[in-house]
Amino acid sequence: MYNFKRGSRFCNLAVFFMLSIMLVFACLVTAADAKGLKTKKLNIEDLFNGKDGTMVLKNLKNDHIYIYNNERSKKMVTPESTFKVPNALIGLETSAVRDEYEVKRWDGVRREFENWNRDHSLASAMRESAIWFYQDMARDIGEIKMKKYINLMAYGNGNITGGIDIFWLNSTLKISALEQVDFMEHLIEEELPFKEKNQKTVKRMMIQEEKDDYTLHGKTGTRLSDMGLGWYVGFIESNKETWVFALNLSGTGTEAKNITLQVLKQMDIIKEHP
């Protein structure tokens, strides 16, 4: 004989289960829609002068993300000298350098940029983008520790097989513009797997411009073999909000920085004073 009470209970459970699935699905759709609403298109194609490139700009106050060339924003390319930022963090954490003021003596080898051909500290080598200093420090860090911290940071594809002192230079390590923004956001919040003092030091080393109403932190990167890849990554802080940015293009780091500054001015993030 059919047990109507048991059958009714089964039907109620089935209905409850179906309603639960529908509710979860509705929440996922709503979350996805909300996320989509926070992503806006950057109409800055004219600033690239016909060169392929992308820019990701994020407002940390409201999590709004602005993207130019969404497809390229996900493309992983070599970080070039923007890797000096994580390299400095790892160097400080592993005591490959004591602090930002520790000096390495120039080896006397004349390189392509005159301001590289002198003694440098961790901070001055960041400012002048003196590759030899950071290559020497990477050798001091060593492959095991370097790999450990790159994995802990989840930095790009994590591939350092290209060689301990060149893996970030047109080699095996690659990262996208979206990933650069994510990395910078964690640095700003001091959430990376390093001592807070080391993260504060590196952020201080990245300062490129200080005004009454904002402070600009940034790092350029250029693929020197052909000048065919340029980066500018960093963040800008004001009293009201913080914006994170990453731009790369088929050009130089100087071009990437110039375009970034134009965008920041167009969006009134940097206010031009009379």
Active site residue ranges? 81
**8 A C-beta contact, residue 194 and residue 89:** yes
Distance CA 80, CA 89 (A): 16
What's the alpha-carbon Rg for the chain, to the nearest Å? 23
**8 A C-beta contact, residue 18 and residue 30:** no
DSSP 44-103: -GGGGTT--EEEEEEETTTTEEEEESHHHHT--B--GGGGHHHHHHHHHHTTSSSSTT-E
Q: How far apart are the first and last CA of the chain?
A: 90
DSSP state of 271: P
The answer to whether the Cα torsion of 190, 181, 129, 146 is positive or negative is positive
Joined together, the tokens standing for residue 92 give 């400080």
Distance CA 115, CA 129 (A): 9
